Amino acid sequence: MAAGGKQLSKDEVLATLSGTSASGQLATGGETQIDWNANGSVSGYITNATGRRGSIYGTWKVDDEGKICRDLTIKFYESSQVKDCFPVFRLGDQIYFPANYTSLNPSVAIVKRTIKRQ
């Protein structure tokens, strides 16, 4: 993260996200809210740029590099699967996720997430 943010370690990601709800804007417009449950399950919603709302559910874990690895189903008209891993960053007291992160292209936009304890 070029602005001086710090990538979180495995322990920091777990302490920051486990048992919380993370919400924020999507890079493509719309918004999302996801509950990162302590039991490794994920649930929430996504609203696309046109206002259509879909559901999100699946599982999550944190790998040894501190990346969130998730296996999600996203339902709009039809279901789609998302299986990926991505780093989490902190700048001051703000948390950021990369938008459309891949290990081949780590220089992507980042999106701020508001974290609330459940």
Predicted confidence (pLDDT) per residue in 54-93, tens digit: 999 999 999 999 999 999 999 988 999 989 999 999 998 8
Architecture of the domain spanning 6-117: Beta Barrel (2.40)
Q: Read off the pTM.
A: 0.84
pLDDT digits (tens, 9 = 90+) for 6-62: 999 999 999 999 999 999 988 888 899 999 999 999 999 999 889 999 999 999 999
Compute how many other C-beta atoms are within 10 angstroms of the C-beta atom of residue 27: 13
3 state DSSP class of 11: helix
Domain residue ranges in the chain: 6-117
